């Protein structure tokens, strides 16, 4: 049992299983808004988790992740517009309102967008990389602002959502379960990737590019593939968001949205599996709660975030682990009794501090 609790994956399963009961419990608690809120959390959790692959695993500070979120959303919105007008997109791609068609296309377009932006951005590093990813995202934002055909600033509304595989996606509970299911699938994927050979290289990129070169790894292709996978995840989340909100606008790819996704990842716990989910829940939940109290809610949200980041090292996941009495993965293990590292300590050389956390 204790071992089970030590494994982050069992926490994920537990959280997702409990979350599945929300549509059943919400009417009993007489709060019908809860299902919608939970849907948004699940969608943002997918987007935040995809950013976490770059930020948490690879140490790549991409500050334009909302670009792929918005791209995925616009694929759904634009295909719907052409479905209504019955004019094929670019003269040969027929419109659609079927999520089975639009979501795979959204993921594809998100992946292609990330491949192009990533191929150029990943030639830089550090602050340059942050600025160039931000610049690309803002370019896309202004492109869609100026696209009057697709609503420009005002965006596009989606009125008729088609059922998918017999699921009525207009029913809030059904849409929620779909989003939760896709979140579960995405987290499973992220967990496998983190443990795989590819994931080991990505973790190596975060901790030391110089070391990676010295063991013979050219890191660029790995970073690019991670970028594409992350872009696809964000685009999937964007497609879901547009189906949920029945609306898409350039705001989805505004830089503040990229910032929100980053806050979710850092707030929840960088490089953890459950962290981005907790981060999304905390941010969306706080926004909702505070906005109900006062219109100056951002004034309160800011300090709360600062306090959490300052005092909960490792974000919410770090706090959860400390409460559960679990050591962080890179925290010191005690030496077995009677076992000294090299038999003796060289004179004049102090032992390294045993722990960095706690």
Considering only residues 293-332, where is the footprint of other proteins by CB under 8 A?
Answer: 329-332
Instruction: Determine if 346 is a binding residue for other proteins (CB under 8 A).
Output: yes
Comparison of 310 and 350: residue with beta carbon closer to other proteins: 350
Binding mask 212-251 for other proteins (x = CB under 8 A): xxxxxxx--xx--x--------------------------
Return the range that interacts with other proteins (CB under 8 A); candidates 77-85, 92-100, 280-288, 345-353.
345-353
> What single-letter DSSP state applies at residue 82?
H
Q: Which stretch in 6-14, 27-35, 36-44, 194-202 sits in contact with other proteins by CB under 8 A?
A: 194-202
> What is the spatial distance between Cα 102 and Cα 82, in angstroms, rounded to a whole number?
12
Tell me if residue 269 falls in helix, strand or coil: coil
DSSP secondary structure code for residue 57 in this structure: I
Burial 332-356 (b: 16+ CB within 10 A, else e): eeeeeeeeeeeeeeeeeeeeeeeee
CA atoms within a 13 Å half-sphere pointing along the CA-CB vector of 212: 19
**10 is a site residue for other proteins (CB under 8 A):** no
Residue closest to 274 by CA, chosen among 324, 225, 226: 324
Question: Rounded to the nearest whole angstrom, what is the least distance from the CB of residue 192 to other proteins in the complex?
Answer: 6
Nearer to other proteins, 17 or 355 (CB): 355
User: For 48, what's the count of Cα atoms within 13 Å in the CB-facing half-sphere?
Assistant: 32
For position 201 contacting other proteins by CB under 8 A, the verdict is yes
148 touches other proteins by CB under 8 A: no
Are the CB atoms for 36 and 243 separated by under 8 Å?
no
Q: 169 or 332: whose CB is closer to other proteins? A: 332
| Residues 107/236, Cβ–Cβ less than 8 Å | yes
Paired tokens of 83: 């479905």
d(CA 172, CA 257): 24
Minimum distance from residue 64 beta carbon to other proteins (Å): 24
- Smallest separation (angstroms) from other proteins to the CB of 162: 32
Q: Which stretch binds other proteins (CB under 8 A): 81-89, 148-156, 278-286, 339-347?
A: 339-347
Q: Identify the residue among 123, 160, 170, 211 touching other proteins (CB under 8 A).
A: 211
Nearer to other proteins, 142 or 220 (CB): 220
- Nearer Cβ to other proteins (10/196): 196
Q: Which region, judged by CB under 8 A, interacts with other proteins, from 35-43, 76-84, 195-203, 299-307?
A: 195-203
From the CB of 234, what's the least distance to other proteins, in Å? 18
CA distance 262 to 333: 31
C-alpha pair distances (Å), 199 with each of 78, 186, 241, 248: 35, 15, 28, 33
Instruction: Identify the burial level of 31 via C-beta atoms within 10 angstroms of its C-beta, where 0-12 means exposed, 13-18 middle and 19 or more buried.
Output: exposed
The candidate with the shortest Cα–Cα distance to 169, out of 87, 76, 259, 258, is 76
When asked if residue 104 is in the footprint of other proteins (CB under 8 A), the reply is no
Among 94, 208, 307, 324, binds other proteins (CB under 8 A): 208
Binding interface with other proteins (CB under 8 A): 192-193, 195-201, 203-204, 207-208, 210-218, 221-222, 225, 329-333, 335-336, 339, 341-349, 351-352, 354-356
């Amino acid at each position: 049992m204790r071992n089970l609790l030590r494994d982050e994956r069992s926490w994920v399963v537990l959280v997702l299983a409990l979350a599945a009961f929300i549509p059943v419990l919400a009417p009993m608690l007489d709060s019908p808004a809860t299902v919608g809120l939970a849907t948004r959390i699940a969608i943002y959790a997918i987007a935040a988790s995809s950013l976490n692959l770059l930020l948490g695993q690879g140490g790549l500070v991409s500050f334009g992740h909302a670009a792929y979120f918005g791209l995925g959303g616009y694929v759904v919105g634009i295909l719907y517009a052409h479905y209504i007008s019955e004019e094929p997109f670019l003269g040969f791609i027929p419109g659609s309102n079927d999520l089975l068609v639009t979501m795979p296309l959204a993921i594809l377009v998100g992946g292609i967008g990330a491949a192009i932006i990533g191929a150029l951005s990943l030639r830089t590093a550090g602050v340059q990389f942050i600025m160039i990813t931000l610049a690309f995202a803002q370019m896309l934002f202004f492109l869609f602002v100026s696209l009057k055909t697709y609503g420009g600033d005002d965006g596009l509304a989606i009125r008729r959502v088609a059922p998918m595989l017999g699921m009525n996606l207009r029913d809030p509970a059904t849409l929620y379960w779909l989003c939760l299911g896709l979140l579960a699938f995405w987290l499973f994927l992220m967990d496998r990737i983190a443990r795989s050979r590819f994931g080991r290289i990505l973790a190596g990129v975060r901790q030391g590019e110089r070391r990676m070169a010295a063991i013979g790894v050219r890191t660029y292709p790995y970073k690019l593939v991670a970028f594409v996978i992350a872009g696809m995840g964000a685009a999937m989340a964007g497609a879901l968001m547009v189906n949920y909100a029945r609306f898409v606008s350039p705001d989805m790819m505004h830089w503040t949205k990229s910032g929100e996704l980053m806050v979710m990842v850092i707030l929840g716990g960088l490089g953890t599996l459950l962290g981005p989910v907790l981060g999304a829940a905390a941010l969306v939940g706080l926004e909702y709660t505070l906005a109900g109290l006062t219109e100056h809610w951002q004034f309160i949200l800011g300090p709360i975030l600062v306090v959490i980041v300052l005092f909960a090292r490792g974000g919410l996941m770090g706090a959860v682990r400390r409460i559960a009495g679990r050591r962080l993965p890179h925290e010191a293990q005690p030496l077995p009794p009677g076992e000294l590292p090299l038999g003796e300590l060289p004179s004049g050389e102090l032992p390294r501090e045993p722990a960095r956390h706690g």
